[in-house]
Structure formats: structure tokens, C-alpha cells
Amino acid sequence: MTLTSFLVFVLLAGTLAAWVLLALIPAFVELRARRDAEPLPGVGRDSGSLFYFANSFLTRATAEGLLGPGVPATMSDGSRVLTHGGASSLEAGPDAFREVVVVTDASPLPPGAVMLGEVVAQQSLAPSDDLVVRALLGMRDVTLGENSTVLRWVHARGVLEAREGVQLLGRATSDRTIVLSPGVTFQRIEADTVLVAGADPPPPSDTREKVPWTPRGGVQLGKRYWRVLGDVEIPAGAVLEGALVATGSVLIGEGARIRGSVKAQELLVVCRGAEVEGALSAWGGIGIESGARIEGPVISESDITVEAATIGMPGGRTTVVGNLVTLAPGATLHGAVMAATGRVPSA
């Protein structure tokens, strides 16, 4: 290659690299100095529906005749099918059950059994302790006994209740309500309503007179968009009309009301009785105290703690996404929670 040809090649390569990096400049700038008003929609590590596996298996179970009175001994792919209930009850032994198991009545599964095939409960499933289940489809209510483990997914078309010490690995969903007891751990859960049992009702919301408020020293970048350098403390009882972004931490005072979203680069704390009509987003952790109400998504790059507060609204599902998500007794959520680790503190 001649010197001229080499210089032309270097020039073309440099031009191409600059052209590619040009599109990434806004992302680099935002990473270094985050300033956008609205948090990105969070869907965790999986952009698909949390109901996908359950819906797919429901379709298959219906086609294979697993939901009716005449349960077949094998499925079309040759998989063996066992029934449990009445005169054909299974008993736990040293070996795991690898067949598809159909529970035909309200009989609980044998305590301590390991079910590595899919389980279908035609009726409401009674609890049995120390159960290990790979995948479970409940056509009505499902109650998981103490210290049981779900390895991949569980879905109840009625109420799904997880008692103390249950591990919900993978996905846990319900068409209606999920009830979590102290000591439960989870990763991805979704239902119209998620309740954490074991707490008294939250204290009443702050009833003091609401006072209009705008952030001191903030820059108004739009009609309903404020940006503040550093920390922000929103006074108790204050009303902010619009979105707020802070490069530091944000404290939303007791009984305050935010008619927009709030984003903090560091810590974000919502005090008792405060209300946020939009989303919460923080690079640091998020703490939501008892009696608070958040209507939109709650997203953090770090940890999220929810006391006896409410997130989302009936009929208006939202999403909570964080690294460690702690749901204290009395917490109520409408929608999905996705976390690297999710837990309900032990009593």
C-alpha cells in the first residue's frame, strides 16, 4: 500500500468513526450530567409479559385435555401425566416427580415433594409446606405453604398467596391478587393488586392546608419542568405543579403533593402522607414512607424500600424496578415489581 493510499484509508476510517460517535454524544452527555425530566420506562431484564409462560402452558393444557375430568395418561409429545387427588394421591419420596401432575380436587400436594414437571391445579390448591415446584398453573386460588419454593413460574387465575418463607424465583403472577407474608423473597411479580400482609392500616394522610411551592434557585426549563442543582427539600404540605429534576437528593415532605414526576441523581425520600401523581426515578435509593401514595412508576438504579404505602391505582397498573426491593408489611401495589432481589422482612 502506498503512503497516499494509507492516508486515504486512515481519513475514511476516522470519518466513519466520527460519524458513529456523533450519534452517541447525547447519551454520553446525559450519562455525565443527567437532566431529563421523565424517567425511562423500566421493564427489568425482560421486556416480555410476565404472564407469557403461564398463558402458553394454559393454551397447551387446554388442548391436551388436562383441565377436564378425563385427564390423559400421556400428552401428545409423550410426556407422562400423573393425577393427584381422591383415590390417586401422590406421596413424597426420595426422588423428584418429573411428570406433569394434575391436581383434580382441593387435596394439597405432599409436603416436601419436589415437582420438576409442570403442575396444574384444577381447583383451589391448598397449602403444603416445604414444597418445591418448577412451574405451577392454578385455575383458581393457589396457596403456597411455608418455606416452599417456585423455581420458574407460578400463576393463579384467582388469588395467589405466598406464606412465610416462600421463595418465588422467576415469575409469580395472578389475574387478581397476590398476598405476600413476612419472610417471602421474590424476583418478578405482577397482579392487579399486590398486598403485603401483617401490618396495621397506614396513618391518615396529612390534612394541613396545601401551599403552592416552587423550588428556590431552580431553573424553569419548561412550563411544568424545574431543574435544581444540588439537593431539594419540598416542605410539608407543599404543592408543586410540574416535574422536578435534581442533581442531588430530594426529600418530599410530609403531606406534600407533586402533580408531576420527580427525578433525583442521588437519594429520593417520600415522607408520610405525601402524594406524587407521576413517576419517581433516582440513581440512588428510593424510600417511600407509610401513608404515601405514588401513582406512576418507581425506578431506581439502587435499592427501593416501600413501607405501608400505595403505588399505582386500581385499574391503573404501574411498575416498580430496582436492585433490592423491600416491601414492608402494609405495602400495596397495583402492577409489577421486578428486582434483582425482592423481599418482605421477616416478622
* Per-chain mean pLDDT for the chain: 87
Other C-beta atoms closer than 10 Å to the C-beta of 256 total 26
> For residue 34, what pLDDT is reported?
44
Q: Please give the share of the chain, as a percent, with pLDDT higher than 90.
A: 75
- pTM beyond cutoff 0.95: no
Dihedral sign (CA 156, 161, 164, 168): positive
Confidence of residue 11 (pLDDT cuts 50, 70, 90): low
What is each CA distance from 210 to 37, 139, 258, 343, in whole angstroms? 24, 47, 11, 35
Beta bridge mates, 137: 120, 155
Structure confidence by residue, pLDDT tens digits, 212-221: 998 887 777 7
> Alpha-carbon distance 54 to 50, whole Å?
8
Structure confidence by residue, pLDDT tens digits, 221-264: 778 889 999 999 999 999 999 999 999 999 999 999 999 999 99
Q: Please give the share of the chain, as a percent, with pLDDT higher than 70.
A: 83
Confidence of residue 33 (pLDDT cuts 50, 70, 90): very low
> For residue 24, what pLDDT is reported?
40
DSSP 49-112: -TTHHHHHHHHHHHHHTTTSSS--SB-TTS-BEEEESTTS-----SSPB-SEEEE-SSPPPPTT
Nearest to 274 by CA among 264, 266, 285, 262: 262
Q: Assess whether pLDDT exceeds 60 at residue 204.
A: no
Structure confidence by residue, pLDDT tens digits, 256-280: 999 999 999 999 999 999 999 999 9
Confidence of residue 205 (pLDDT cuts 50, 70, 90): low
47 vs 60, which has greater pLDDT?
60
Pairing of strands 225-228, 219-222: antiparallel
Q: Assess whether pLDDT exceeds 50 at residue 45.
A: no
First to last CA, the chain: 75
> How big is the chain, counted in residues?
347
**CB-based burial, 260-288: b 16+ in 10 Å, e otherwise:** bbbbbbbbbbbbbbbbbebbbbbebbbbb
> For residue 343, what pLDDT is reported?
98
> For residue 223, what pLDDT is reported?
81
> Alpha-carbon distance 18 to 313, whole Å?
47
Helix (H) or strand (E) holding 234: strand 232-234
> For residue 146, what pLDDT is reported?
98
Structure confidence by residue, pLDDT tens digits, 134-145: 999 999 999 999
Q: Looking at 166-221, list the stretches that DSSP marks H as alpha helix, in order from N- to C-terminal side.
A: none
Confidence of residue 197 (pLDDT cuts 50, 70, 90): very high
Q: Assess whether pLDDT exceeds 70 at residue 21.
A: no
> Alpha-carbon distance 55 to 49, whole Å?
10
Structure confidence by residue, pLDDT tens digits, 63-122: 999 999 999 999 999 999 999 998 789 998 889 999 999 999 999 999 999 999 999 999
* 243 touches 227 (CB < 8 A): no
Amino acid at 45: R
> For residue 210, what pLDDT is reported?
74
Structure confidence by residue, pLDDT tens digits, 305-324: 999 999 999 988 999 999 99
